[in-house]
Amino acid sequence: MTTTHPLLAKLESLLDLTEAERNAIGQVRIQPAEIQADGTISREGDRPSRSFLLLEGMVSLSKMAGGGNRQIMMFYIAGDMPDLHSLHLKFLDSDIWAVTACRLAYMPHDDLRRLCYAHPRIADELWRTTLVDASIYRESVVNVAQRPALSRMAHLFCEMLLRSQAAGLAQGQTCPLPLTQADLGEMLGLSIVHINRMLQELRTRDLITFGQGRLRVRDWDALVELGDFRADYLHLRDR
Amino acid sequence: MTTTHPLLAKLESLLDLTEAERNAIGQVRIQPAEIQADGTISREGDRPSRSFLLLEGMVSLSKMAGGGNRQIMMFYIAGDMPDLHSLHLKFLDSDIWAVTACRLAYMPHDDLRRLCYAHPRIADELWRTTLVDASIYRESVVNVAQRPALSRMAHLFCEMLLRSQAAGLAQGQTCPLPLTQADLGEMLGLSIVHINRMLQELRTRDLITFGQGRLRVRDWDALVELGDFRADYLHLRDR
DNA sequence: CGCCTGCTTGACCTCGCTCAAGGCCCGTGG
DNA sequence: CCACGGGCCTTGAGCGAGGTCAAGCAGGCG
């Protein structure tokens, strides 16, 4: 890895930065951290004074529902900032934990705020990433409320592949997806048993292979069709 | 009604504004609009150049799913800015329409951006409202994915009452809720038939009355319990 | 070797859906 | 004035997607 400031690397991929902006980003202090698989990063009710950029690994954002069931709202991948919203919300309303071993780069809220105040284009870009997250949540509501299990799963796989590709983490139609069937169940609101059967269905239809921490999409068009997937909500082509 | 600038009224309720901030807000141009009940405000794919503050009425944000079913993601009430996210997302990923007759105050994106650049505290506050929306979407995922129909409905009613109270639209435990059973079904991902039966159940348990465009909560504690409702995700007490 | 985590399979059950019909209220036209 | 139509709400009957329970299997690790 290079020694580049991680936030600089991220923003540079989104924006043409001026020299002044680059310098200001360089001023943001970085506190590196490593978390092992299954480790807690923060909890509902926490009042963080910093946010982190995920450098490596997979992180998930979830809540406990009444019955003791966990609902996962999002899987975050390298390059994402899963708790950026804590910059303006005083406490967290969700749990954040490491699905796999992770490397994080924490950045103090004070520094981020200073950066935003001095460089509105950067503020807008960070704001925008939280808006894309919101859009993904909206689509999740549709996914879980409207689509049958098989379609729901297909939709998730489409999304994860596309986001991985956009983040430069995929190789062709293959991307890291280090999830257990239980994880998928908690994301999709389905029982493990049913996840298992739906996965088999996707496999026998020859749409995907999934296992050993990887997803390979064998028939993208069919998966898109089955998952009722339209990528616009990811706002990848916006700029 | 006074002749106060509507955005000023909104922000003043959230922030102690300086004179300079007040003046800057006053510079934001307002284009009033009236929409009749059931009217379309904007559509998925639109590229708005302005956002609006809802002055009166109820607006909903929804998407069409594959099967031709509509999924409503949020009901917005007076004081909300349902398409504020279009300030930074080039096109809309959802439909926005008027549930009831509405009065809107449109504000050009250019003006809003200028305001945000000059007054970062206001930018933060607007950013924050979009983050609260995102938090509500997250809770919606939990609601739809995890809770049984009756509980889901109870949760929605808790949320609508609390948000109405916070917006000053409620009288005691009563608030406007001008929804048909079909609307509720599209919000909760349930069939009309089932909505009807669940409503009856809530009524016979004496938890609520609902009809003529109003919701009255007769037993708040029981409704909260049934709906597995914890209000923290609304971030009302944050400040 | 034995345990634990994750995957798989079968049997049964239930929540919520669909289909179908009927009732109520209100606005419109004859 | 009444007839008709269209929203919206209500009720009953049957069905199916997905849940629960229970058991067994495979592989990695102490």
Type of residue found at A126: L
Question: In this predicted structure, what is the pLDDT of residue A1?
Answer: 45
A140 touching B (Cβ < 8 Å): yes
Report the run of H or E that residue B41 belongs to, with start and end: strand B40-42
Identify the CA nearest to A167 among candidates A227, A85, A226, A80: A80
Q: Is residue A2's pLDDT more than 60?
A: no
Amino acid at A119: H
Average pLDDT, stretch A65-91?
96
Contact (Cβ atoms closer than 8 angstroms) between residue B27 and residue B8: no
Q: In whole numbers, what is the pLDDT of chain A averaged over residues?
A: 96
D26 C1' – B23 CA distance, angstroms? 70
Residue A88's pLDDT is what? 97
Each residue's pLDDT tens digit, B47-56: 999 999 999 9
- B:140-199 Cβ neighbours of strand C under 7 Å: 148-150, 189-191, 193-194
- What's the pLDDT at B30? 97
Predicted confidence at residue A67, as pLDDT, reads: 86
- Kindly report the nearest CA distance between residue B143 and chain A, in angstroms: 8
Cβ-contact B6, B79 below 8 angstroms? no
User: Quick check: helix, strand or coil at residue B140?
Assistant: helix
Contact indicator for A102, A54 with CB cutoff of 8 Å:
yes
Q: Which two tokens stand for residue B192?
A: 């009309």
Q: How far is A234 from chain B (nearest CA, A)?
A: 9
Identify the residue whose tokens are 């925008």: A128
Tally of CB atoms within 10 A around B200: 10
CA of A87 to C1' of C4 (A): 40
- B189/A93 Cβ within 8 A: no
Residues 10-39 of B with CB under 8 A from A: none
Measure the CA–CA gap between A25 and A17, rounded to whole angstroms. Answer: 10
Let me know the angle formed at the C-alpha of A179 by A176 and A183, rounded to the nearest 5 degrees: 150
Could you tell me which of A13, A4, A189, A169 has the C-alpha nearest to residue A78?
A: A169
Q: What is the DSSP letter of B22?
A: H
| Angle, in degrees to the nearest 10, between helices A192-204 and A149-166 | 70
Query: pLDDT confidence of B57, banded at 50, 70, 90?
Result: very high
With contact defined as beta carbons under 8 Å apart, do A140 and A93 qualify? no
B228 vs A: CB within 8 A? yes
Question: Given this model, what pLDDT does residue B238 score?
Answer: 74
User: What is the pLDDT of chain B when averaged over all its residues?
Assistant: 96
Arithmetic mean of pLDDT, A59-73? 95
Mean pLDDT, residues B39-60: 97
Rounded Cα distance between A185 and A70, Å, is 9
Query: Which tens digits make up the pLDDT trace of B102-136?
Result: 999 999 999 999 999 999 999 999 999 999 999 99
Going by pLDDT thresholds of 50, 70 and 90, the confidence category of residue B2 is low
**Percent with pLDDT over 90 in chain B:** 95
For the entire predicted model, the pTM comes to 0.96
Overall average pLDDT of the B74-101 stretch: 97
Q: Is the pLDDT of residue A228 over 50?
A: yes
Q: Is the CB of A192 under 7 A from strand C?
A: yes
Q: Is the CB of A180 under 7 A from strand C?
A: yes
Average pLDDT over residues B80-86: 98
* Backbone phi and psi for residue B144, each to the nearest 5 degrees, phi listed first: -75, -35
Site of tokens 């049984």: B148
Q: Which amino acid is at B126?
A: L
DSSP summary character for residue B147: S
- pLDDT tens per residue, range A133-181: 999 999 999 999 999 999 999 999 999 999 999 999 999 999 999 999 9
- pLDDT band per the 50, 70, 90 thresholds, residue B67: confident
Of B89, B128, B146, the CB nearest to A89: B128
Query: Which pLDDT belongs to residue B239?
Result: 61
DSSP track, chain A: -----HHHHHHHTTS---HHHHHHHHTS--EEEEE-TT-EEE-TT---SEEEEEEES-EEEEEE-TTS-EEEEEEE-TT--TTGGGGTSSS-SSEEEESS-EEEEEEEHHHHHHHHHH-HHHHHHHHHHHHHHHHHHHHHHHHHHHS-HHHHHHHHHHHHHHHHHHTT--BTTEEE----HHHHHHHHT--HHHHHHHHHHHHHTTSEEEETTEEEES-HHHHHHHHT--GGGG-SS--
- Whether B1 has a pLDDT exceeding 60, the answer reads no
